[in-house]
């Protein structure tokens, strides 16, 4: 939570409704580790790095269902799904209405969700991929920060944040390395 707030604070302070006070979130429950932030060379490199991270977490906890990979949009997991399939890692997606109907936290699979779909869910281990992606309709790169804040706060134990695009978001993430 501290990382998510620190990363997002400037955006929230600039866009705050002055009638509603900005309150720093208070963590409850588990105390997680510092987030790991990786700058990847490409989308393919990102997929390999994330799968390696997932495999290490599986050796620690023994449950794929304790893990989620959050992304800005479905296209972001194309290479990741290929590498996960090659390595025999089970996953479930929740990107469309059909996926949302079938979605279950009880299946022992890695959960692949968009930032928005993850709202309200928590997982011990979360990888936020393609974190520096800014959709073409955004007037400003900072518009993605609220969605990243939601994604970052889904992790209860460990958070991995990856990006491979160069922009103000990736540079801001590097400030936390």
Task: Assess contact for 49 and 162: CB atoms under 8 A.
Answer: yes
The answer to which of 12-21, 26-35, 55-64, 162-171 has the lowest mean pLDDT is 12-21
The Cα 62–Cα 56 span in angstroms is 10
pLDDT over threshold 60, residue 93: yes
Helices (H), the chain: 2-14, 43-61, 78-86, 97-102, 145-152, 168-174
33 vs 8: which has the higher pLDDT: 33
Tens digit of each residue's pLDDT (9 = 90 or more) over 12-26: 566 554 444 444 544
pLDDT of 96 strictly over 80: no
Q: What is the pLDDT of residue 79?
A: 97
Statement: residue 7 has pLDDT above 70: no
> What is the spatial distance between Cα 34 and Cα 121, in angstroms, rounded to a whole number?
20
The reported pTM is: 0.84
CATH topology of domain 2-174: Rossmann fold (3.40.50)
Q: What pLDDT is attached to residue 22? A: 46
Check residues 117 and 88 and name the one with the higher pLDDT: 88
Q: What is the pLDDT of residue 89?
A: 98
Backbone angles phi, psi at 149, to 5 degrees: -55, -45
């Amino acid at each position: 939570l501290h990382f998510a707030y620190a990363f997002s604070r400037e955006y929230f302070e600039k866009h705050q409704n002055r009638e509603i006070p900005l309150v720093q979130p208070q963590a409850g429950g588990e105390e997680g580790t510092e987030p790991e932030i990786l700058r990847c060379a490409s989308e393919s490199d990102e997929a390999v790095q994330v799968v390696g991270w997932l495999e290490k977490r599986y050796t620690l906890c023994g449950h794929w269902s304790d893990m989620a990979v959050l992304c800005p949009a479905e296209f972001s997991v194309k290479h990741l799904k290929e590498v996960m399939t090659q390595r025999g890692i089970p996953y479930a997606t929740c990107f469309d209405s059909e996926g949302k109907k079938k979605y279950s936290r009880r299946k022992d699979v890695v959960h692949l969700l968009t930032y928005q779909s993850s709202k309200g869910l928590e997982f011990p281990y979360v990888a936020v991929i393609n974190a520096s992606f800014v959709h073409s309709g955004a007037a400003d790169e900072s518009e993605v920060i609220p969605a990243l804040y939601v994604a970052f706060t889904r992790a209860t134990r460990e958070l991995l944040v990856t990006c491979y695009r160069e922009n103000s978001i990736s540079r801001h993430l590097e400030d936390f390395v």
